[in-house]
Amino acid sequence: MQRKIHENLSKLENINRQYRRLAREGRTDTAGTLKKMMQDANDRWDNLQGQMSASLRDLRHSNSIREDFKRTKDSLLSWLTEIDMQLTNIEHLSSMNTKTKIREMQRIQDEIDSRARKFDFLDEGALFLITKGDSTDAITTQAEIDSFRTYHRQVLDRVAITNARLSAMQVCGVQKISCCVYIIMYFCVCVLFLFCFL
């Protein structure tokens, strides 16, 4: 489009040169009709140039948002996959004690919290691309963001479940310790009681 407009610019410049030559030679009409036509052609050209510049600016802006959206989505998907693997390690493969696992889960939660703004940006970018793009791009973007949200929700659910499970294990561990302490104390009292009566 821009190339076609620039190709026709030389034609307009040629017509302007011819008009100026005619005006210098005094061979224009006295009513100024030719002058009005030239002014109208130049004004329409300027208007077309302005519209083309605005369209190119909008296209560049949309393209920039599309690239940022894609780059952010890919980065967050990679990070979510890494978190997913860390969760699997904590849940099944790790020989860490419960306290260490809870610290690791807190670190993961802190990472999730620190990336909240990126998730918001992704939603805003998707909304922009869906509302401002053509129907094909809107459908593609909607499918991409839906797939991403599903995976994001799955990972967050796993984090919540793992946190709950570890908290329950910690509480059970404390209760077992408390129970053991009470049993030992009871045993000691019984032994003391027996020694007192012997």
For residue 159, the tally of other CB atoms under 10 A from its CB is: 20
Mean of the per-residue pLDDT values of the chain: 82
Cβ atoms of 166 and 105 within 8 Å: the answer is yes
**Residue 46 CB burial class (10 angstroms; 0-12, 13-18, ≥19):** exposed
- Is pTM, for the whole model, over 0.75? no
Residue 139 has pLDDT above 70, yes or no: yes
**pLDDT at residue 1 in the model:** 66
Residues 6+ apart with CB under 8 A from 142: 126, 130
Domain interval for residue 48:
2-197
For the stretch 5-53, pLDDT in tens is 767 777 888 888 888 888 888 877 777 888 888 888 888 888 888 888 8
Mean pLDDT of the 181-187 span: 47
CA distances for 120 relative to 73, 90, 156, angstroms: 11, 28, 15
Total domains in the fold of the chain: 1
Q: What's the CATH number where 178 sits?
A: 1.20.58.60
